[in-house]
């Protein structure tokens, strides 16, 4: 049996992206944040002899259902503000995954998503996977130019589900991004 919105609201209070126990009991204290942080970045709560990911209970608290897939808009699994959680398809949820730190056990050549060093051309290559097909976005003398090429392609292909390099590294890209125009300079 799955948990209902009524049960979630009777067990928890929601404040600032956290669920707090409403009632004390074995392993819980009233007013204390519920659950624990997992190694993968998600927060998890044990209740009614079942484990739940906190963001799924928060969504249920506000929406009366738990869809099969939920997405953290900013890609941060620890940010469980209701404004950061949205319903998504599996495909949409995969569109905004972060760049893996390694490939086949080796560190990646670039910190940016969609970017890799191409030895033969001695340039940064940009690429994106859309509907299972890899698309080459060109070779670039600058790692940042290659990252921008990826970002533009990701926004065009994935829309609001795109997780861009500019979103992951705002301190690097803020001087390049023209906020008044809403486009890259």
pTM, whole model, 2 decimals? 0.74
Same domain, 139 and 75: no
- Select from 38, 36, 18 the least CA-distant residue to 28: 36
Question: What pLDDT, in 10s, does the model give residues 103-157?
Answer: 788 888 999 999 999 999 999 999 999 988 999 999 999 999 999 999 999 999 9
Asked which of 51, 66, 88 is the last residue of a domain, the reply is 88
Same domain, 102 and 136: yes
19, burial (CB in 10 Å: exposed 0-12, middle 13-18, buried 19+): buried
- Cα separation, 163 vs 57, whole angstroms: 24
Q: Give the total number of structural domains in the chain.
A: 2
Task: Report residue 99's pLDDT band, with 50, 70 and 90 as the boundaries.
Answer: confident
**93 found inside a domain:** no
- Cα separation, 160 vs 41, whole angstroms: 23
Task: Give me the percent of the chain exceeding a pLDDT of 70.
Answer: 95
Same domain, 62 and 118: no
Same domain, 106 and 171: yes
Asked which of 69, 88, 107 is the last residue of a domain, the reply is 88
- Please determine, for residue 185, whether its predicted confidence score (pLDDT) is greater than 70: no
Question: What pLDDT, in 10s, does the model give residues 54-82?
Answer: 999 999 999 989 999 999 988 889 999 99
Same domain, 82 and 15: yes
CATH number at residue 160: 3.30.730.10
Structural domain for 104, as ranges: 98-184
1, burial (CB in 10 Å: exposed 0-12, middle 13-18, buried 19+): exposed
Asked which of 33, 58, 88 is the last residue of a domain, the reply is 88
Same domain, 125 and 166: yes
């Amino acid at each position: 049996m799955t948990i209902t919105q009524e049960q979630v609201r009777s067990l928890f209070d929601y404040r600032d992206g956290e669920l707090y126990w409403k009632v004390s009991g074995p392993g819980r204290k009233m007013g204390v944040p519920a659950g624990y942080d997992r190694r993968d970045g998600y927060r998890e709560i044990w209740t009614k002899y079942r484990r739940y990911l906190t963001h799924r209970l928060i969504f249920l608290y506000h929406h009366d259902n738990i869809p099969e897939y939920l997405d953290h808009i900013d890609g941060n699994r620890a940010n469980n503000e209701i404004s950061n959680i949205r319903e998504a398809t599996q495909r949409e949820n995969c569109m905004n995954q972060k760049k893996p730190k390694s490939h086949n056990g080796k560190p990646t050549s670039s910190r940016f998503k969609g970017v890799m060093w191409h030895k033969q051309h001695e340039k940064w290559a940009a690429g994106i996977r859309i509907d299972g097909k890899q698309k080459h976005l060109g070779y670039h003398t600058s790692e940042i130019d290659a990252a921008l090429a990826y970002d533009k392609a990701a926004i065009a292909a994935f829309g609001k589900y795109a997780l861009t390099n500019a979103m992951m590294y705002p301190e690097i890209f803020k001087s390049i991004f023209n906020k008044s125009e809403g486009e890259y300079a």
